[in-house]
Amino acid sequence: MAKRRKEDALETRERILDAAIDVFDRRGVSRPSLTEIAELAGVTRGAVYGHFQNKADLFSALADRIRLPDESLCQAPLDSCKDPLGELQNRWLFMYREVMINEQWRRIFSIILLRCEWVAENGEIHQRCSDGHDEGTMRLRNLVTAAVEAGQLPADLNIEMAVPILHAGVLGLLQDWLMNPKAYDLVEVGEKQILAMLEMLQSSLHLRK
C-alpha cells in the first residue's frame, strides 16, 4: 500500500511538471499562476503545494529534468579527462542533438532562454539560472585550462577572455535556433560552429595574453 501511494505521488508530481512545461512554454514564466498549472494537470492547487513550495521550486524541478545550458558543459572530472577539447566538443554536440530531437528538452530550454521574463517576481528563478551559469562557467574554464596544459591550446591563451566568448557562442546559437527551429539543422551548424570557435582559440591574436 505504501509503495502504491509513493508511485501515485510520483505520478502526480510528473503530471504537474508536464503541465508546467505546457503552460510556461505558451505563456511565459511570470504570468501563469500555480492554479492554472494545477487545472491543466487535473489536480488541486493544494496538491501542487504538496510537491513544490512555490513557482521557483517548480521551475527548479523542471530544469532538473535536463541540465541547464551551462550545467550541461564539462561534467567529467578533470583528472579523468585525457582529451579536454574532445570532451568539450562531445558535450556541446550532445546538447545540440538532444535539443533538436527531444521535444521535452527543446521546450524546457525554450522556457529558460526565451520565456523566463526578467521581472522582480522571478528573482528566485533568475538565481537558479545564475547559479547554473556560474557552475558552467567554472567547468568550462577548467576544461579550457586543462586543454592549455595538455598542449591542445596555445600556452599564452587568455583564458578569462576566451571562456565568455565560448559561452556566448554556444548559448547564442541555441537561442537563435529555438526562435526558428525550421531555419537550419542545429547539429550540422553547431558542429561547424564548434570547430570554428576552437580554430579561433588556436589562431586569434586578440585572445593572447
**pLDDT tens profile 174-204:** 999 999 999 999 999 999 999 999 999 999 9
Rounded alpha-carbon distances, angstroms, from residue 196 to 46, 82, 164, 170: 51, 22, 16, 12
Residue pair 65/104 in contact (Cβ under 8 Å)? The answer is yes
Q: Nearest Cα to 62, choosing from 124, 26, 91, 104? A: 104
- CA geometry: angle at 27 spanning 26 and 32, to 5°? 130
Residue pair 63/21 in contact (Cβ under 8 Å)? The answer is no
For residue 89, which amino acid is it?
Q
Domain boundary assignment for the chain: 1-62, 68-207
Q: Nearest Cα to 111, choosing from 156, 153, 69? A: 69
pLDDT in tens, 79-136: 556 788 998 898 899 899 999 999 999 999 999 888 887 766 567 777 877 877 788 7
Residue pair 190/138 in contact (Cβ under 8 Å)? The answer is no
Q: What pTM does this model have?
A: 0.82
Tell me the CATH number for domain 1-62: 1.10.10.60
The CATH fold of domain 68-207: Tetracycline Repressor; domain 2 (1.10.357)
